Structure 1
Amino acid sequence: MSPPATQPRRALVVVDVQNDYDGGNLAIQHPPFAETVANVARAMDAAAAAGIKIVVVKQMAPETSPIFAKGSHGGELHAEIAGRGRDHYVEKALPSAFTGTDLEDWLRANAVDTIAVVGYMTHNCDLSTIIHAVHMGFAVEFLSDASGSVPYANSAGYASAEDIHRVMSVVLQSRFAAVLKTAEWIDCLKTGKLPERDTIYASNQRALKRNAA
C-alpha cells in the first residue's frame, strides 16, 4: 500500500512478546532481548501518549509444544508487556496475527490504515503479519530495534540471528514496510514526519552501484 496521503491512522501491533523469547526455549539472540523488549515498552508508552491504539498479540500452542505451550511460563506474555495498557488482545495459532483472528475487522472498525509492528520474531510472525497486512491494503511500519531473531540450521544451511534480522529488515524496507528505529518512530509521532519508504527497483539499483564501486 502507498503511504497515506494525510497523517497515518496508526495502531501499534505488539507481536508475541512472550517469556520463551527471554532466555527460554526460543531465546532471541539479535538484537538482544533485553534491549528490544525495552524498545517495545517505549513504543507502547509513546503510542499510549499519542492516543494510538495498541493491539497485543499472543502465540498459542498445545500443552505438549516445546515453545509457547498453553499454561506454561514460557507461553505467557512478558512482564514488560503484560503490565501495560492495551486496546485489543488477539490470540493466534499461526504466524500471521490476521489468520484466524478478528484483527482485520477490529482495525477497520477503528479506521486504522497503518500498523506499526514490534515484537518477535522478525523473520517469522512479524514478517508474516507485515506481508499479510500489505496484501489487505494496510500501510506498515516496522521497528527493527524492537524485534529480533534466532539462528537457524537445517537442510538448507545455516543463518545467524544477526544475518536473518538484517536481511529481513532490508527486504521489508524494499517493498513491505517503512523500517525504522524506535526513537525515529517516536519522533514521527511527535513531529508528524512520515517515515522513509522505498521500492524494489531503487533498492536493487543502489546495491548494483555498491557492487560496482
Structure 2
Amino acid sequence: MEVKLTRIPSNAVLIIIDVQKAIDHPSWGRRNNDQAETNIVQLLSAWRETHRPVVHVRHLSTEPGSTYRPGQEGCDFKDAVLPKAGEEIVDKQVNCAFIGTDLEQWLRKNGYQTLVVTGVITNNSVEATVRVAGNLGFDTYVVSDATATFDKIDLDQKLHPAALVHALSLANMHQEYATVIDTQTLLQGL
C-alpha cells in the first residue's frame, strides 16, 4: 500500500495508546511489529523536537486478572515513552480513548484537528479509538509500523497470526476512519 505524502500540520497530535509494561507479559502470546516501540520513540522524538502536542493514553483495567490493572508494574508506561511535563495523559478503562475521558473536549478546546495514532493493540484499543476519532470528524492517521497486536483465536478456535490480525485491522481503518501510513513517510511530512 502506498500512501501519498501529505504535509502534517504543526499542531497534529501524536497519540500513544497503552504502551505500558503490561504488553510484555507472556500471557499475551506472540505479537507482530517488534519494532513498534522503536518507531513510536522516533515519532515521539520528532514531536518533541518540533513542539507538537503529545497524548499518552494509559489503560487502567478494572478486570482483576488484567496485566493493565492499577497497582502493579504492568500499569506503568514503558520507559521509552515516559510522558514529559506538559504532555497530556488520558486514563481510560475501556478500549476507546474517547469513552469516559475528556480527550475529545481537550482536543476541541485546543483546536486540534489532526491525530496521529500509535500504540497497542491494533485490533482493540487502537482500532476502537481510531473509529471514534473518524466518526467525530478528526483527520486521523494510523502509523502501521508503530502499532502492534497479538495472535488471535477466532470463534472456531482457529489461530490467526498477529501479522494477519494487524493487517486486517489496518484495512478496516484505512480510508473509512483514517489514513494508514508508515513511520518514515509520516516523518517526511513533518
**Does the pair score TM above 0.5?**
yes
Alignment of 1:20 onto 2:19? no
- Structure 2 counterpart of 1:173, which letter? H
Runs of 4+ in 1 over 3 A off after TM superposition: 6-9, 83-86
Match of 1:169, as an amino acid? L
Aligned residues: 184
Deviation at 1:131?
0.5
Aligned to 1:187: 188
C-alpha separation in 2, matches of 1:50 and 1:28: 35
Q: Secondary structure at the match of 1:133?
A: helix
Corresponding residue for 2:108?
Answer: 108
- Measure how far apart 1:24 and its partner are: 4.1
State the one-letter code of the partner of 2:21.
Answer: N
Q: Partner of 2:38 in structure 1?
A: 38
For residues 51 and 165 of structure 2, what CA distance do their matches in structure 1 show?
A: 33
User: Contact 2:151 / 2:165 at 8 angstroms: preserved in 1?
Assistant: yes
Q: Secondary structure at the match of 1:119?
A: strand
TM-score (structure 1 length as normaliser):
0.79
Q: Label 1:85 to 1:165 Cα distance change in 2 as closer, same or farther (>3 A).
A: farther
Structure 1 unpaired stretches of 5+: 190-213
Larger RCO: 1 or 2 (CA < 8 Å, sep 6+): 2
Who is 2:165 aligned against?
Answer: 164
**Alignment partner of 1:90 is 2:80:** no
Q: Deviation at 1:85?
A: 5.4
Larger Rg: 1
CA contact (8 A) 1:25 1:66 kept: no
Distance 2:28 2:130 in 1: 21
Change (3 A) 1:118 1:28: farther
Tell me what 2:3 maps to. none
Q: 1:181 and 1:50, CA in 2 relative to 1: closer, same or farther beyond 3 A?
A: same
Which shifted more, 131-140 or 15-24? Answer: 15-24
Which sits farther off after the overlay, 75-84 or 129-138? 75-84
Name structure 2 gaps, 5 residues minimum. 1-5
Q: What fraction of aligned residue pairs are identical, expressed as a percent?
A: 23
Length-normalised TM-score, structure 2: 0.88
